[in-house]
Amino acid sequence: MSELRRDPICGRWVIVDTDHSNKPEDFEYEPQSYKGGTCPFCYGNEAMTPPEIEAIRDHSTAPNTPGWQVRVVPNKFPALQIEGELDRRGIGIYDMSNGVGAHEVLIETPYHQKDISDLLDTEVENFLSMYCRRAIDLAKDKRLKYIMIFKNFGAAAGASLEHPHTQLIALPMIPKNALDEIRMAHNYFEFRERCIFCDIIRQEQQEKERIILENEHFLSFCPFVSRFPFEIWIMPKKHNERFCRISQENEIPSLASILKETIARLKIVFPNLSYNFIIHTSPVNGDGGVEGYHWHIELMPKLTRVAGFEWGSGFYAVSTPPELAAKYLREKQ
């Protein structure tokens, strides 16, 4: 018989198939492939992007030229723009505002065909550090309330360009998914005087069956209430509500190592896999309660599609229990 599991953070229910669980070879997914052609993010094509905002580059080189390791540019077709006034207003029962915000693209590497698992640890550290630098800089704009950092890798995950990159979107309000998670974490803290995410870490360390990797500062595991097969969370062991407060000296290298190794194991099990990851963090500029919140990364492999049942019910159906998924990933090195 399948199991119904309830997420203690958001109250979401999932259905886990424990009787006829899918093995990795049972999944049919759209493989990530490189089609070639001229890429605006590639080394030497700097003139094809908008002027860079910031970069990690050789000090002897000029902006918008070769010599970079990580490069940040404005999105050529931004969802939101930094210029203008927010101008919140109502039209009858509908709320509106101007599309004020920011939309940046962080090009993680000069190499077109290298994903995170193919990079050196120091190269991963570089772009993680740049995530922080850009988020801290964007947060200086008091109109902005939430900085979303997310990666779409592969066409099946929504990437319009093949070259590995991450997007940062700064929003003038807190998105509903983040707000729901923050409020539920705060309610748990008010009731129990503990962080729910810290409690999850303690339980995962006790039970061990869903842990994939662990190092001094981070835990990589398949959550008990996974929404998707082989969903993975990476969470700091030290309580910290904001990603940008991460230690550059100790935690960034630990995060780079566990993120790289987690993706490497996932891609051994599922070659050429597309995936998304999102950094869940607290709001900026004092909007929204953060007491009891704990930043983390949620990584979703593109192995299945959300269909009518999920859209209609809000439930998710998971064909591989997270305990089994973690076991497959632990065994791959």
- Complete DSSP assignment for 176-233: HHHHHHHHHHHHHHHHHSS-HHHHHHHHHHHH-TTEEEE-SSEEEE--TT-SSTT-EE
- The end-to-end CA distance of the chain, in Å, is 32
Distance of CA 35 to the CA centre of its chain: 25
Distance CA 46, CA 52 (A): 9
What is the CB neighbour count within 10 angstroms for residue 138?
A: 19
The widest CA-to-CA distance across the chain, in whole angstroms, is: 64
Q: What is the dihedral of CA 22, 25, 30, 35, to 10 degrees?
A: 160
Length of the chain: 333
Catalytic residue, candidates 20, 59, 103, 165 = 165
How do strand 165-171 and strand 102-107 relate by DSSP bridges?
antiparallel
165 among known catalytic residues = yes
What is the CB neighbour count within 10 angstroms for residue 257?
A: 18
Q: Which residues does the annotation mark as catalytic?
A: 165
